[in-house]
Amino acid sequence: MTEEPRPTLEAVAARAGVSRATVSRVVNGDPGVREVLAEKVRRAVDELGYVPNRAARSLVTRRHDAVAVVIAEPETRVFADPFFALQLRGISKELTAHDIQLVLLLTEGRDDHERVGRYLAGGHVDGALVFSLHLDDPLPGIIRRAGLPTVFGGRPGWPQIEEGGPGAPYVDCDNRGGAREAVRHLMGLGRSRIAHITGALDQTSAVDRLDGYRDALADVDQGLIAEGDFTPAGGERAMRELLDRAPDLDAVFAASDLTASGALRVLRERGRRVPDDVAVVGFDDMLAVAEQTEPPLTTVRQDIEEMGRLMAGMLLRGRGGAERGTEPVEPAGVVLPTSLVRRDSA
C-alpha cells in the first residue's frame, strides 16, 4: 500500500541549515528561538511536507488536538436518527473553530465498548464526548478507567455518580419541564384521555419525559402509557397497543418526533383523524421530521445542535483548566430550556 517514507526531523534541519534541536523547539512551539531561525524552519517544514510525530510528542505534552465522540448505539441507528447528525454538527463546528479533530468512534454494538475504551485510553485523543448512554452500559466505567476528560450528552443515570456532581459534567435539555408543557397544552385543548408513548426507558431522557407526563396529570391511568424506543417502528408498535387497550384516547404525547411519526402512520391506518379525533405532540423539533409529517407536528423544541456545541465547549475549557493544573470552572450540569412549537397535529 502507499508506504512512502515520511520526511524526518533531520531532513528539515538539513534543509533549514539549523540543528535538530532547533527544529524540535520550533515544532513544539518553544518561543525561545530567534525569529529568523524559526522562519527558516517553518519554510523547510512546508517545503518538505514534514509532519511531527505526534505519537512521540504526545507522551510528553499529552496533546493530540483531537476529541473523541462516542455514541453508545450501533452505527445503523446513528445514521438513521437525525438527532445524532444535529448534535454532531454542533460539536463539529465548535471543534473546527479551535482546529481540533473530531474523531467519531463507531461500534457495531455493545460488545465493542471494551475496544472503544482501549482506544480512548491509548493516548489518541485529549477528551471524550459521550452520548446516548443506557443505564446498564459498561461505557462510563470503561471511560473512567481511561482517565480522560469527559462530557456527557444527557444526564448520566448511573447511581454511583452523584447527579451533577464533580466528575459527571453533562449537557441536557429540560426533559421533564418540556414534557409537562406538552401535556398541559393537550389539556388546554380540552383533551382528557391523553396517552404517552415513552422513549427507551433505560435512558434518563425517556424517564424524565415520563415523569413530566405524570407531573401534569392529576390521575395517571397506567393503561394510557406504552413503551417505545425513540424510533418510528417503536412508535407504531406502541400506538397499536394503545388503540387496542384504550380506544377512547383523544391525545398522544410521544417521547420523540420519530416516535410521533410512527404513531401518526398508525392513526391514519386506523382511520383516526389528527388532530380532530386524536391530537399528537412530539419531542425534539427536528425539522427534517416534524415539518414532513402528515399533518405537520406540534412538538417540544430542544436545541440539539446548541447542546452539541456546548458539550464541546465545556470539554475544551475543562481541558484548558486541566493544563494549568486548575479545576474547571464550568458548572457540572447545564440544562437548556425547551419550548412548545405549535403546528397542525395538536
Enter the DSSP assignment of 185. Answer: H
Q: Rounded to whole angstroms, how far apart are CA atoms 67 and 104?
A: 9
Q: At its nearest, how many Å lie between a second copy and the CB of residue 37?
A: 23
Round the CA-based radius of gyration of the chain to a whole number and report it: 25
**Cβ nearer to a second copy, comparing 3 with 219:** 3
* 272 φ/ψ angles, rounded to the nearest 5 degrees: -90, 125
Q: Which three cell numbers stand for residue 293?
A: 409529517
3-state secondary structure of 248: coil
Other residues' Cβ atoms within 10 Å of the Cβ of residue 283: 31
First to last CA, the chain: 59
Closest CA to 345 of 292, 288, 300, 281: 281
Q: Rounded to whole angstroms, how far apart are CA atoms 89 and 143?
A: 23
Closest CA to 153 of 29, 329, 286, 304: 304
3-state secondary structure of 225: strand
**Cβ nearer to a second copy, comparing 123 with 177:** 123
Q: At its nearest, how many Å lie between a second copy and the CB of residue 31?
A: 21
Q: Rounded to whole angstroms, how far apart are CA atoms 38 and 34?
A: 6
Q: Rounded to whole angstroms, how far apart are CA atoms 47 and 155?
A: 49
**Cβ nearer to a second copy, comparing 37 with 103:** 103
Q: At its nearest, how many Å lie between a second copy and the CB of residue 273?
A: 24
Judged by the rule CB under 8 A, the positions of this chain that interact with a second copy are 1-7, 49, 51, 53-56, 58-59, 64-66, 75-76, 79-80, 82, 84-85, 88-89, 92-93, 96, 99-108, 112, 115-119, 121-124, 127, 141, 143-151, 167-169, 315, 318-319, 322, 328
Q: Which three cell numbers stand for residue 48?
A: 518538505
Q: Which residues neighbour 181 within 8 Å (Cβ) at sequence distance 6 or greater? A: 212, 300, 338, 339, 340
Q: At its nearest, how many Å lie between a second copy and the CB of residue 228?
A: 21
Q: At its nearest, how many Å lie between a second copy and the CB of residue 259?
A: 19
**Cβ nearer to a second copy, comparing 68 with 195:** 68
**Cβ nearer to a second copy, comparing 66 with 187:** 66
**Cβ nearer to a second copy, comparing 75 with 227:** 75
Q: At its nearest, how many Å lie between a second copy and the CB of residue 94?
A: 10
**Cβ nearer to a second copy, comparing 155 with 319:** 319
Q: At its nearest, how many Å lie between a second copy and the CB of residue 140?
A: 9
